[in-house]
Chain A
């Protein structure tokens, strides 16, 4: 029986302390590309959360039931990318069918979730952390999913905060040479510094 503390540590650690965007610098493309409006940022976060959670479950099972027992871990990266790509196709189909507004807002960034390093990164981190060896297969899967959920929530939190700031920046008086991307990158840097202050909590 795993202590609930393990889940708490996994979720807080991956959400705040090792934030996927600001601490690990993964998933920066959608972070900068789809953060102009809060609505689209939240839609993107929801899509990334879904893909991240399902990909974590599928890749964990694939790794520990197929790749590891047969000694073919060397194909893990290509297998994981294909799993993520398939999931993204399904998510795109679902959004296209049920939320056409969100589909238009996400635009090219929707199929580009396939190349979102945050998802592949979390999947690889979950395998590298050896949760199955530490806690057993089932409990390890639960910890891996919790960790992925924390990372997804951290991604959503950062996307929401950054898009809110960018919306306010549009109305703010900014020097001409700082308008647009430069001031956004400065904001991202300050946010990363703020998250750095959370180090050492857990």
Chain B
């Protein structure tokens, strides 16, 4: 029983550390990437976030 509790606490602690590092990473803004509109327009992946953002901007 004690083993199981320690196992759960250990995993929970590491998950907490992971969430912390994830949140810190998300707070740092990604560098701006210039998208080539011609290439983007030729692509047929309509689920792509970049494509959706570009069409919204237009």
A and B physically associate = yes
- CB pair A92–B25 under 8 Å, yes or no, is yes
- CB pair B24–A75 under 8 Å, yes or no, is no
- CB pair A83–B28 under 8 Å, yes or no, is no
Q: Tell me the number of A-to-B contacts counted with CB atoms below 8 Å.
A: 57
Q: Taking the complex as formed, is B14 at the interface, i.e. its CB lies under 8 A from any CB of chain A?
A: yes
Which secondary structure dominates where chain A touches chain B?
A: helix
Q: Min CB distance, B57 to chain A, in Å? A: 20
A residues 111-156 with Cβ under 8 Å of B? none
- CB pair B31–A96 under 8 Å, yes or no, is yes
Instruction: Tell me which residues across on chain B come within 8 A of A4, comparing CB atoms.
Output: none
Q: A70-B6, A72-B6, A86-B21 are in contact. Are A97 and B14 (CB under 8 A)?
A: no
A90 to B29, CA, bound (A): 14
Instruction: Tell me which residues across on chain A come within 8 A of B7, comparing CB atoms.
Output: 70, 72, 74-75
A82 to B11, CA, bound (A): 8
A residues 55-104 with Cβ under 8 Å of B? 66-67, 70-72, 74-75, 78-79, 82-83, 85-87, 89-90, 92-93, 96-97, 100, 103-104
- CB pair B24–A90 under 8 Å, yes or no, is yes
Q: Taking the complex as formed, is B10 at the interface, i.e. its CB lies under 8 A from any CB of chain A?
A: yes
Chain B positions 28 through 50: 1 when the CB is less than 8 Å from some CB of chain A, otherwise 0: 11110100000000000000000
| Residue in A75, A78, A93 whose beta carbon sits within 8 Å of that of B25 in the complex | A93
Instruction: Tell me which residues across on chain B come within 8 A of A72, comparing CB atoms.
Output: 3, 6-7, 10
- CB pair A96–B28 under 8 Å, yes or no, is yes
| Residue in B2, B6, B11, B17 whose beta carbon sits within 8 Å of that of A78 in the complex | B11
Identify the B interface with A (CB < 8 A): 2-3, 6-7, 10-11, 14-15, 17-18, 20-22, 24-25, 28-31, 33
